[in-house]
Amino acid sequence: MSFIELFNTFANNLLPIMLIAAAGYVLGKTFTVDSRTIGRMVFYIFSPLLVFNLMVTSLLNLEQALTTVGYTAAVIAIMGGLAFILGKLFRLERAHLLAVILTVAFGNTGNYGLPLVKFAFGDEALAVASIFYVTTTILFNTVGVVIASLGHLDLKSAILGVFRLPILYAVTIALIIKGFGIQIPLPLSRTIEIAANGAIPAMIILLGLELTRIEWTHSMRAMSLGVAIKLLIGPLIGLLLAGLFGLHGHTRQGSVIEAAMPAAVATTVVATEYKLEPSLVTAIVFFGTVLSPLTLTPLIVFLAR
């Protein structure tokens, strides 16, 4: 793994994402931009249609999709469990511990993960990554919200909230269309394709906009622990579980990259909503994102071999 190989991998796969995200960051710092409106646009339109398009056009079969769902759930459970154990060993107070668990368990598999997988390994790996992303989204909006709520929200309300996720319906409709071999009319398929093509640029811009909300935190121990677990242990857990689940080829590449992503930007929204140390959570997201090329670049090189 030479320096030239690492540099070319970074320049070709990570640098384009970083540059577009940086443009979004500068835009957010220079002008008053309503990132919440852009986020809704991505959440309700672009993201569901991207996932729908990937699933309809993908060669993935049901067994591969279910395996990816199981793999994703295992990654989230193990990473959350490790965060809990290490947080206890480092004697983090309860709020800091929950913040670390939330950011370590749920990675940025959408705004950052999907474009990275596409650039590095192509559309087949992207289809796998989209299953990882959908599973993460559903678990984040149930288990993740319950963790962040600190008991202010019951499990039933969190579970019912899943049915408000447009991605869930996109996946369901895509499975029906693919299962019954239904032909999508050309005007509709072109509409979906246009929206799907716009999803990834919009996601990256949104990532940059969301990073403008960084707050400094005095919880350096908790922040360092959260970033270290996510970036250093995450790839190792991803690779280990890929072997246990028998993943290979594009399925392995897409899944492991998603498992290695830094903390999700969405955790800052939930942390703010439920007053779960938002400054700590945003700091973990920011520094994890900035430092992630150091771990993702060699991982891409390794997976490409």
CA distances, 274 to each of 61, 76, 211, 277 (Å): 39, 21, 19, 9
Task: Write out the two tokens for 51.
Answer: 């996932």
**CA–CA distance, 91 with 85 (Å, rounded to integer):** 10
CB 64 within 8 A of CB 128: yes
**CA–CA distance, 248 with 253 (Å, rounded to integer):** 7
Compute and round to an integer the Cα radius of gyration of the chain: 18
How far is C-alpha 25 from the chain's CA centre? 19
How does pLDDT run along the chain (305 residues), one tens digit per residue? 788 999 999 999 999 999 999 999 999 999 988 877 888 888 889 888 988 988 888 777 788 889 999 999 999 999 999 999 999 999 999 889 999 999 999 999 988 999 999 999 998 899 899 999 989 988 888 788 777 765 455 556 666 666 777 888 888 898 899 888 899 999 999 999 999 888 888 888 988 888 887 767 678 899 999 999 999 999 999 999 999 999 999 999 999 999 999 998 888 877 877 778 888 988 999 899 999 999 999 999 999 98
pLDDT attached to residue 154:
57
CA distances, 159 to each of 146, 175, 199, 240 (Å): 10, 22, 26, 30
**CA–CA distance, 281 with 285 (Å, rounded to integer):** 6
pLDDT attached to residue 173:
92
Backbone CA torsion sign across 95, 98, 99, 100: positive
pLDDT attached to residue 159:
67
For the chain, how many residues are written? 305
**CA–CA distance, 58 with 117 (Å, rounded to integer):** 15
144 Ramachandran zone, left/alpha/beta (phi>0; psi -120 to 50): alpha
Please give the domain boundaries of the chain with CATH numbers for all domains.
Answer: 3-23+34-209+217-304 (1.20.1530.20)
CB 288 within 8 A of CB 267: no
Record the pTM.
Answer: 0.87
**CA–CA distance, 120 with 13 (Å, rounded to integer):** 6
